[in-house]
Homo-oligomer: A and B are copies of this chain.
Amino acid sequence: MTSPYAIAETAEPGIPEGFRRLDAGGPWFRLIGPVYTHPHPAGSVIVALRVAPHHLNMQGVTHGGMLTTLADSALGINLAIARGRRGGQVTVSFTADFLSDAREGDWLEAHVIITRMGKRLAYANCDLKVGERHVLRSSAVFAIVERQLPHASE
């Protein structure tokens, strides 16, 4: 399926092989960037970033809201890819468990699995990981609508 996103073609130094810069999203999503994606065998994309100073809280680890921003965005991006179009989807509910923290310099990856794509509702999970270590488990339900919607995750 053709991705509705523009992906850069060139690799960047310090970024793991196969990851390309994702040039997409509105103002809030861009605050978390730069963000990279990597095609996943299952048809989805891994969304990832290098943890930087602006992602941190006062304790020097990733802020919870930065992690939920990354998860919500990765879910929305993968849903858009699966549907072959952007927009027309809105987050209805979102849950997250915080398993560990991420620190400056960590390569933080969001792995998404869409468990059900219905006509009106879609269900998906997103795990944030640094290597094999779980940082965040999250899941969300999305409403699929034809018109432009609130809460589109970009």
Instruction: Decide if B69 touches A29 in the complex (CB within 8 Å).
Output: no
* Complex-state Cα separation, A96 to B150, whole angstroms: 15
Are A116's CB and B100's CB within 8 A? yes
Residues A59 and B25 in contact in the complex (CB < 8 Å), given A65-B65, A141-B97, A143-B120: no
**Count the A residues whose beta carbon is within 8 Å of the partner chain — how many?**
60
A11 within 8 A of partner (CB): no
How would you classify the secondary structure of chain A's contact residues: helix, strand, loop or mixed? mixed
Per the bound structure, the CA–CA distance linking A154 and B58 in Å amounts to: 6
Interface membership of A37, Cβ < 8 A: no
Would you list which residues of chain A between 45 and 79 have a CB under 8 Å from chain B?
53-66, 68-73, 76
**Set of chain B residues within 8 Å of A141, measured between Cβ atoms:** 92-93, 97, 141
In this assembly, does A149 line the interface, its C-beta being within 8 Å of a C-beta of chain B?
Answer: yes
User: When the two chains form their complex, are residues B69 and A66 in contact, meaning their CB atoms are under 8 A apart?
Assistant: yes
Interface set of A (CB-CB < 8 Å, partner B): 25-29, 31-32, 53-66, 68-73, 76, 86-87, 90-101, 115-116, 120-121, 123, 125, 134, 137, 139, 141, 143, 148-154
